[in-house]
Structure 1
Amino acid sequence: MTTTGIRTMRAAVLERFGGPEVVGVAERPVPVPGDDELLVRVHASTVSIADHRLRTREVPRGLGLVVGPAIGFRRPKHPVLGMEAAGVVEAVGHRVTRFAPGDEVVVMRGARFGCHAEFVTVPEDGEVARKPTDLSFEEAAAVLFGGHTALRYLDLVDVGPGTEVLVNGASGAVGTAVVQLAARRGARVTAVTSGRNAELVRSLGAAHVIDYTHEDFAAPGGEPRYDVVVECVGNAPFGRVGRLIRPGGALLLVISDLAGMIGAALRPRRRGILVNQAGGPMGAEGMTRLTALAEAGDLRPVIDRTYDLDDIAEAHRYVDTGRKRGSVVVRIA
């Protein structure tokens, strides 16, 4: 294995649940890659809604006990947050053949977290791919979280020319990616967001915008008019929006409470409508497709603000407002 000789690294660490102030920069041991792993020097990551939830332990209704084993009960199970990273391969295990030190890569660690640090490891056959050459590290990090989630859900349904897609929460990291990918597949996208974000989502491909501050997109009345509803907020369960979906359509619950999850698991098809809250698989193949979409310009980064690692608490504070558009990027290197 190629080694760095570096023993410690800087990382954003939290030792307890709480507000943004519980996150601080500290020294941690550099992880040692296994025989089949890469050690990646992280240049950029993002602070996502997942980081917010793990830090605050504020999860959708009914999921406190369910997610406890994954995030911790009294203390955070993952003291270093960050689900995704863009960086450079620093070292490789002796069985690694597809990557070499110096390669620019993007990494999705997902629920293992750990990317708000100067170094992370990832299996060679895990969710890692070469970084799009035309994107900076910050831009590459910005497309990862939302693009990864959007692909996993949109791959479950047939979206093409003539498909009517509604995206609730269209201006967030996931929503902006869903709008772009659905529009690129030929769908007519209706974006639900606040009026201040209307121009943004239209520029990403939305054909119609509903300003939720003035109009309830799920108000009673009217015929089913959408083939796919993508729920990225957590306030549109099947009971509220099911009548808006045409027979044979789908409700994709990117965010759901316990009742929605149980309903999706026990009744995968209700009145001919697919209800899914888990998304599909991604893997290395999905990561390669994701980076190819970004390389081709079919998925472009939407960056709201960028912070340095030393300002990680401020990044969390801004995400806590619930008003971010696209991604909040953290520069690590």
Structure 2
Amino acid sequence: MRLGPVLHREGAFGGAGKRLGLGWDVAGTVDATGVATAWGVGDEVVALDHGMVKPLGTHAEYVVVDAGAVAVAPRATAAAHAAHAATLPLNGLTAAQALDLLDLAPGASLLVTGAAGAVGGYAVQLAAHRGLAVTALARAGDAELVRSLGARHLVTDLAEVPGGAVSGGGVDAVLDAAVLGEPALAWVRDGGAYAGVVPQSGPDPVRGIRVAAVEVAADGARLAELVRLVDEGVLTLRVAETYALDDAAKAHARLAAGGVRGRLVLVPGAGS
């Protein structure tokens, strides 16, 4: 699987010949504000700095974002734990907005691929919270993790998905966080739904299946809802490892190596 940050760095989302600012998530303390905003200096916040092709990203000590993209940081993540808060905006909003595309009623069955990953983990928790019956596609070693997130079933191979790839069988929908494409689509029942996580990309629709891909959007109000779910214990913030900002290249190399459970977070001002 090619991961979003790796693809972004390599220019897969456009920007040939342009400077690409890396990083979308930000968590920290408000240092200054515009003249017409409810936010104040010293507020602990999280935000999504949206945009594929931009001159600067959140791999920085200071980030400027629109006031409408900002939410109060989770109560459990004070300034000393801003690294945990930084794991929420991009992946939490991606999972939530992908579930919105699927538009499933409580009780529907959902397959989440890459369920132990950053987007997949949030997707499992949000789907379970909505009353969906979640089947998690993950490694056998991640069984305890995905079940703790709310998955009812674990499969380690698509061949194990309940119902099988047959006409009228399989799950009601798939949220394809692992970007498997057509193989995952094969396990959706006729007339079901598929949501991918790479914008304007996905398998060709078949058997009446709705196929869509989320293009994550900055949304401070929606982010605030996710923060509330963190504070209520519905969503779990997972930091796999932290790196100093100067060690961003090492973090990207670790991400590209695969097998990361949780997020890698860059911390400005931290030592190497």
Task: Give, as a single letter, the amino acid of the residue that structure 1 aligns with 2:33.
Answer: V
Distance 1:292 1:222, change over 3 A: same
Q: Displacement of 1:241 after TM fit? A: 3.9
Task: Report Cα offsets for 1:31-75 as digits up to 9, x if no partner.
Answer: xxxxxxxxxxxxxxxxx9332112233x4xxxxxxx33xxx224x
Q: 1:320 aligns with which of 242, 256, 272?
A: 256
Q: 2: distance between equivalents of 1:141 and 1:217?
A: 33
SS of residue paired to 1:122: coil
Q: 2: distance between equivalents of 1:241 and 1:81?
A: 29
Task: Give, as a single letter, the amino acid of the residue that structure 2 aligns with 1:315.
Answer: A
**Residue 226 of structure 1 aligns with which residue?**
171
Question: Equivalences for 1:262-301 in 2 at 5 Å?
Answer: 263=204, 271-279=207-215, 283-301=219-237
SS of residue paired to 1:132: coil
Q: Is the 8 A contact 1:143 1:294 kept in 2?
A: no
**Residue 50 of structure 1 aligns with which residue?**
4
Q: 2:70 aligns with which of 128, 152, 161?
A: 128
SS of residue paired to 1:224: coil
Q: 2:155 aligns with which of 210, 215, 229?
A: 210
Q: 2: distance between equivalents of 1:308 and 1:86?
A: 15
Q: TM-score of the superposition, structure 2-length normalised?
A: 0.85
4+ residue runs over 4 A deviation: 214-223, 279-282
Distance 1:55 1:241, change over 3 A: closer
Q: TM-score of the superposition, structure 1-length normalised?
A: 0.71
Q: Is the 8 A contact 1:234 1:256 kept in 2?
A: no
Q: Is the 8 A contact 1:82 1:116 kept in 2?
A: yes
Moved more, 201-210 or 219-228: 219-228
**Residue 58 of structure 2 aligns with which residue?**
115
Matched, 1:85 2:26: yes
**Residue 179 of structure 1 aligns with which residue?**
124
Q: 2: distance between equivalents of 1:313 and 1:227?
A: 40
Matched, 1:99 2:39: yes
Distance 1:236 1:50, change over 3 A: closer
Q: 2: distance between equivalents of 1:282 and 1:273?
A: 28
Structure 1 stretches lacking a partner, 5+ long: 1-47, 60-66
**Residue 235 of structure 1 aligns with which residue?**
180
Larger radius of gyration: 1
Answer 1 or 2: which has greater strand percent.
1
Q: 2: distance between equivalents of 1:117 and 1:280?
A: 21
Q: 2: distance between equivalents of 1:196 and 1:235?
A: 20
